[in-house]
Amino acid sequence: MSVNSSLDLPSNIALVHEWFTPRSTGGAENVVQVIDDLLTEIASKPELFSLVNEERLEKNSWLFNRKVKTSFIQNLPFGISHVQQYLPLLPFAIEQLDFEGYPLILSSNHLVAKGILTSPDQLHISYVHTPVRYAWDQMNIYLKRSFLRRIGLGPLIRWQLHTLRQWDQLSSSRVDYLLANSNFTAKRIWKYWRRRSEVLHPPVDVNRFEWNRPREDFYLSVCRLVPNKRVDLLVRAFNRLKLPLIIVGDGVEKEYLKKLAGPTVQIIGFQSKEKIESLMSRCRAFVYAGIEDFGIAPVEAMASGAPVIAFGKGGVLDTVKCFHSDSDKGATGLLFPSQTVKSLVEAIEFFKQKQLWRDLKPELIRDWSNSFSQDSFKDKFAKTINRAWREHVNSCDIATSDLTSSS
């Protein structure tokens, strides 16, 4: 086995992610890119694997013309563009990928990537963004306004999710070392898989954002417009308060939210990175009502110097330092206790009454966001995989020694 002498990592490393497509790009894909960069720096450029790869056609993508080994889903009708429609096949498809010749495999998992098949002499480390949300605790939220449920396929979808839960729990035992993107995700991993995990917050490109621009009189939300984000709570709260709210994002709930929105709420759809950066650097506060496993957007808002008002559950408990009193100088936002319109309205009224955008200093908020920078992530991740690899090599050496002595 060829190893890098500086960090003892093998030269053949595989990196697995569910899919690479411009239609579904977010925090998980950013994590994969940073891990790819890191492995290239400290060991060697990894071989990439995924169910499908559409990014190879995107000239502005980091994956343009990059070789990615894909599954049979790549060749199915609409497999590349609508991979999620093949959900019942995805566990089987990920198991067909061949990892022979890769001593170290890292997977980036939010659905099935952790379910790859490896041998006892291979080390599999999985970075878990979430156990499958719509198969576990958020199943009913996703099904509530599902088109398939409305046309009578609800029982079939529930059965498919039942079988997915069984495979999800079973396949979790195949991973040698689990990393969770937050304490909330670590708790969900223990709840559903009964596995311990190490918490390592994902990398955020905090240097993209300006933090010292004047604050304007509008609030901001940036997220996908899907049921579990609970953007409907934001719309109803700002309708009641008659305060200006700008909502950036696209998704299945867009038309529903437009009908719900009052005159002070603007839903402006998908926007460029530059536009989002500008809005974050100028908003009075960033608001969020969903439950995120980590939540990159609130950290990006804080990198812009913006206070965050969010529902106090999930990943924001790791990222947002809640204001409690006037003597609390290290706060970066305000967390409301209940996922209701009433609780959100009370939090915004308190924020407005106290004029917290003046007391929560942008420079201190920005400084706190540096805890989640790409450099911080790379440093911690490199130490973690190096430690796990050395433990793996030592255990293999001990096993070989035991076999030799017994013979």
Q: How confident is the model at residue 3 (pLDDT cuts 50, 70, 90)?
A: very low
How many whole angstroms separate alpha carbon 19 and alpha carbon 99? 17
* Contact (Cβ atoms closer than 8 angstroms) between residue 118 and residue 124: yes
The yes-or-no verdict on residue 397 having pLDDT over 80 is no
Of 41-45, 58-62, 386-390, which range is least confident?
58-62
User: Averaged over 43-71, what is the pLDDT?
Assistant: 92
405: pLDDT strictly greater than 70: no
**Ordered domains of the chain (ranges, CATH):** 13-203+373-406 (3.40.50.2000), 206-371 (3.40.50.2000)
Mean pLDDT of the 294-320 span? 97
3-state secondary structure of 87: helix
Whole-angstrom distance, CA of residue 142 vs CA of residue 160: 14
Largest CA distance in the chain: 80
Interval 123-144 mean pLDDT: 89
Model confidence over 269-294: pLDDT tens digits?
Answer: 999 999 999 999 999 999 999 999 99
Neighbours of 106 (CB within 10 A): 25
| Per-residue pLDDT reduced to its tens digit, 60-80 | 889 988 999 999 999 999 999
Higher local confidence (pLDDT), 211 or 1:
211
SS3 of residue 230 by DSSP: coil
CA distances from 201 to 23, 167, 369 (A): 24, 26, 12
pTM for the full predicted model:
0.90
> Comparing 4-13, 89-98, 184-193, which segment has the lowest mean pLDDT?
4-13
Dihedral sign from CA coordinates of 214, 217, 223, 224 = negative
- Residue 199 above 80 pLDDT? yes
Task: Give how far Cα 113 sits from Cα of 179, 182, 209, 257, Å.
Answer: 13, 18, 32, 33
Neighbours of 343 (CB within 10 A): 16
